[in-house]
Amino acid sequence: MNRETVLELNHIGVQFGNRKVLDDIHVQVKAGEFIGLIGPNGAGKTTLLRVILGLLSPTKGSLQISGKPVLHGNRAVGYVPQKIHLDPNTPLRARDLVGLGLDGHRFGIPLPSRKRRQQIDEVLSAVDALSFADAPVGRLSGGEQQRLLIAQALLTNPRILLLDEPLSNLDIRSAYEVVRLVSRIGREKGIAVIMVAHDMNPLLSSMDKVLYLAKGHAVMGEVENVIQSDVLSELYGYEVEVLRVRGRVLVVGGEETDLDVLDLVEGSHCNGGDVMIQ
Contacts to another protein by CB under 8 A: 53, 55, 72-74, 77, 79-82, 84, 86-87, 89-93, 96-97, 100-101, 103-110, 128, 130-132, 134-139, 149, 152-153, 164, 177, 180-181, 184
> Measured between alpha carbons, how far is 154 from 127 in angstroms, rounded to an integer?
10
Q: State in angstroms the smallest separation of the CB of 7 from another protein.
A: 15
Q: CB-wise, 128 or 266, nearer to another protein? A: 128
Q: State in angstroms the smallest separation of the CB of 176 from another protein.
A: 9
- Please provide the DSSP assignment of 33-88 as one string: -EEEEE--TTSSHHHHHHHHTTSS--SEEEEEETTEE--TT-TTEEEE-S-----T
Q: CB-wise, 72 or 115, nearer to another protein? A: 72
Q: State in angstroms the smallest separation of the CB of 74 from another protein.
A: 8
Q: CB-wise, 20 or 189, nearer to another protein? A: 189
- Closest alpha carbon to 145 in 154, 135, 155: 135
Q: CB-wise, 89 or 278, nearer to another protein? A: 89
Sequence-separated contacts (24+) of 57-61 with Cβ below 8 Å: 58/12, 58/13, 58/14, 58/22, 59/13, 59/14, 59/15, 60/11, 60/12, 60/13, 60/14, 60/15, 60/24, 61/9, 61/10, 61/11, 61/12, 61/13, 61/24, 61/25, 61/26
Distances (CA, A) of 15 to 5, 45, 63, 87, 139: 26, 14, 16, 37, 41
Q: CB-wise, 151 or 219, nearer to another protein? A: 151
> Measured between alpha carbons, how far is 198 from 241 in angstroms, rounded to an integer?
17
Q: CB-wise, 69 or 110, nearer to another protein? A: 110
Check: CB of residue 24 under 8 Å from CB of residue 30: no
Q: State in angstroms the smallest separation of the CB of 181 from another protein.
A: 6
Q: State in angstroms the smallest separation of the CB of 72 from another protein.
A: 5
Q: CB-wise, 128 or 256, nearer to another protein? A: 128
Distances (CA, A) of 20 to 4, 46, 53: 31, 14, 19
Q: State in angstroms the smallest separation of the CB of 222 from another protein.
A: 23
Q: State in angstroms the smallest separation of the CB of 81 from another protein.
A: 4
